Amino acid sequence: MDIEKKVWEVLCSEEEIQMRTRELGAEITDAYTDKNLFVVSLLRGSFVFAADLVRRIDLKLKVDFMTSSSYEHGEESSGTVQILKDIEEDLTGFDVLVVDDIADSGLTMGCVIKHLKTKNPNSVKSCVLLDKPSRRKVDLEPDYIGFTIPDRFVVGYGLNYGDYYRNVPYVFVVTDQDR
Ligand code: 5GP
Ligand code: MG
């Protein structure tokens, strides 16, 4: 489908995302004040959100990146999650916050948390910009959630359609209507 020819419905505007990210940053700052925060951003989907979020966290912190297999070109999760790029550091003594764009089935976040726990951190928590709880296949409740959304395929602010549109500064859904 050529989504350029369809009407895009904004689900989370730039202003809403900015406001919510500021709130989350303040909450995380409070919660991790006496901790040793290590942010793990999941590529590629969370790169925009993570970049904005860490600048709203007023603490000394580390950031690293992981890549896991996800939807790739289809819209349905394959059910298996593979780690394609791991973080490079030992997590001993750190309080890890895994940041992702969206929790859908929960498989990605669940698998990444389980994997990072083997690296001896003090704690591992999760933060997602978007949560689609109606799609959950595993028992996972993100610790920090930007927005809870209905079961729609969303694009923008890091989330892709095919390999494109990650740079759109807001989150939208593609409607059936022609422009
Ligand atoms: P999960 O493992 O929770 O099923 O899915 C996590 C990953 O699937 C997300 O990090 C994201 O890359 C992708 N994903 C899930 N839902 C959507 C969606 O609505 N739009 C896009 N673009 N990607 C999604
Ligand atoms: Mg992803």
- For residue 93, the CA-to-ligand 1 centroid distance in Å is 30
pLDDT for 72: 47
Q: Which residues of the chain have pLDDT under 70?
A: 70-79
Record the tokens describing residue 34, joined without a space.
């006496």
Q: How are strands ordered across the β-sheet holding 95-103? A: 83-85, 62-68, 37-43, 95-103, 123-131, 144-148
125 in helix, strand or coil? strand
Task: For domain 14-149, say whether CATH 3.40.50.2020 is its number.
Answer: yes
pLDDT for 159: 98
What's the pLDDT tens digit per position in 69-103?
865 445 555 567 899 999 988 999 999 999 999 99
Residues contacting residue 171 through CB under 8 Å, at least 6 positions apart: 10, 11, 12, 17, 129, 130, 147, 154, 155, 156, 157, 159
86 has catalytic annotation: no
Catalytic, out of 52, 100, 104, 131: 104
Indicate if ligand 1 lies below 6 Å from the C-beta of 101.
Answer: yes
Report how far residue 117's alpha carbon sits from residue 110's, in angstroms, rounded to the nearest whole number. 11
pLDDT for 80: 76
Record the tokens describing residue 53, joined without a space.
């979020």
Nearest alpha carbon, ligand 1 atom 16: 104
pLDDT for 74: 52
Distances (CA, A) of 74 to 102, 136, 160, 175: 16, 18, 11, 18
- For residue 108, the CA-to-ligand 2 centroid distance in Å is 7
Rg of the chain on CA atoms, in Å:
16
Query: Is pTM, for the whole model, over 0.85?
Result: yes
What's the pLDDT tens digit per position in 38-48?
999 999 999 99
